[in-house]
Structure formats: C-alpha cells, structure tokens
Amino acid sequence: MTALNRGWIAFASANGAFAVGAGAYARHGLAAEPHAQELFRMAGEYQLWHALALLAVVLLVGRSSGAARGLARLAGWLFVVGLLLFCGTLYANALSVALPVAMTAPLGGTALIAGWLALGGSALAGRWAD
C-alpha cells in the first residue's frame, strides 16, 4: 500500500472519529443553540459520509490504472479539500469563529461535488482489476 493511501486511510479514520464526536457535541453541548446544533449535525453528516467515500477511493486506486487511477486519486484529493473547507467552515460558523478567508464553505462544497464527479469519471475511464 502506498504512503498516499495510508495517509488517506488515516485522514478518513480521523474524520470518522471527529464526526462521531461532533454529533455527540451537537446533541449535548449545543442543545441550547439550535442553529449551531444544526450546523454541527450537518457538518458531521457530510464529514462521516465523505470519510467513507475516501476509504472507497483507497480501494479503487488500488484496483485501477491509467486514467481511472488518476481520476480516483483526483477524487481523493477533492474529498480531502472538501472535508477541510466545507465541514471546517460549518464547525467554525457554529462556534462563531471568524475565518480569515471568505467563501470557504461553497468552495468546499464544490470540491466535494467535483470529487464525486471525478470518482464517477474513474469508473468510466477503463482499466480496472477484477
């Protein structure tokens, strides 16, 4: 297994654990703040689903070659960027933390969408091991 794939597994695992913790914090720590609670829940759901998607990318990168592998890797990087920007922005907004850069949530959401499209493109690009 490559160092990149191991890194993605570690990153996905950390995001999965963080998402579970965020859900617990949303339920218990933010119970008096419905808007913040909703932002935390949404970020946690997106984070958990995309952590799983990143694990799938690792499997697909290992079973593909050529353009299919390149698109699967692109999907992985887009998921990483999307997780950091989209989920990170929602968590920051829920905690009233000012971010130094504007439009991070839309950029992160766009990265997540592009990641799914790249993943779909990798399925159509050919060369997969059985």
The pLDDT of residue 130 is: 65
Q: Tell me the whole-structure pTM to 2 decimals.
A: 0.92
C-alpha separations of 21 from 51, 92, 126 in Å: 14, 15, 39
What pLDDT score was predicted for residue 44?
A: 94
What pLDDT is attached to residue 102? Answer: 85
pLDDT of residue 25: 92
Tokens of 62: 């290992």
Domain ranges of the chain: 3-124
Q: Which amino acid is at 57?
A: V
Which residue ranges of the chain lie beneath pLDDT 70?
Answer: 128-130
- For residues 60 and 125, the answer to whether their CB atoms sit within 8 Å is no
- Give the count of alpha carbons within 13 A of 89, CB side only: 15
